[in-house]
Amino acid sequence: MNELELTGRARTHVVDLTDPACTLHREAAPAFLAMRAAAAQAGIDLEPVSSWRDFDAQVRIWNDKYRGRRRLFDRNGSELVHAELDERAIVAAILAWSAAPGASRHHWGTEIDVIDRAAVAPATRVRLLPEEYFPGGPFAALSLWLDRNMARFGFFRPYRTDRGGVAPEPWHLSYAPVSGPALASMTVGTLRAALVDSAVDGKELLLARLDDVHARYVASVDAPPAAPAGLA
Residue 189 included in any domain: yes
DSSP single-letter state for residue 109: T
103 with 221: CB under 8 angstroms?
no
- Provide the 10 A C-beta neighbour count for residue 209: 15
H-helix or E-strand spanning residue 137: none
Residue range 40-89, pLDDT digits in tens? 999 999 999 999 999 999 999 999 999 999 999 988 888 999 999 999 99
Residue 232 included in any domain: no
182 with 14: CB under 8 angstroms?
no
Spatial neighbors of 162 by CB under 8 A, at least 6 apart, are 75, 168
Residue range 86-117, pLDDT digits in tens? 999 999 999 988 999 999 999 999 999 999 99
Containing structural domain, residue 71: 3-219
- Identify the pLDDT of residue 232: 47
Residue 228 included in any domain: no
Residue 224 included in any domain: no
For 165, counting Cβ atoms within 10 Å of its Cβ (0-12 exposed, 13-18 middle, 19+ buried), the class is buried
pLDDT at 229 over 90: no
Residue 140 included in any domain: yes
Distance between CA 101 and CA 126 in Å, rounded? 24
DSSP single-letter state for residue 217: I
Residue 107 included in any domain: yes
Q: What CATH number should be reported for the domain holding residue 33?
A: 3.30.1380.10
State how many domains the chain has.
1
- Provide the 10 A C-beta neighbour count for residue 199: 9
Distance between CA 139 and CA 118 in Å, rounded? 10
Residue range 15-44, pLDDT digits in tens? 999 999 999 999 999 999 999 999 999 999
Residue 231 included in any domain: no
- pTM here is 0.91
CA distances from 21 to 43, 81, 157, 167, 186 (A): 20, 34, 21, 27, 27
Residue 214 included in any domain: yes
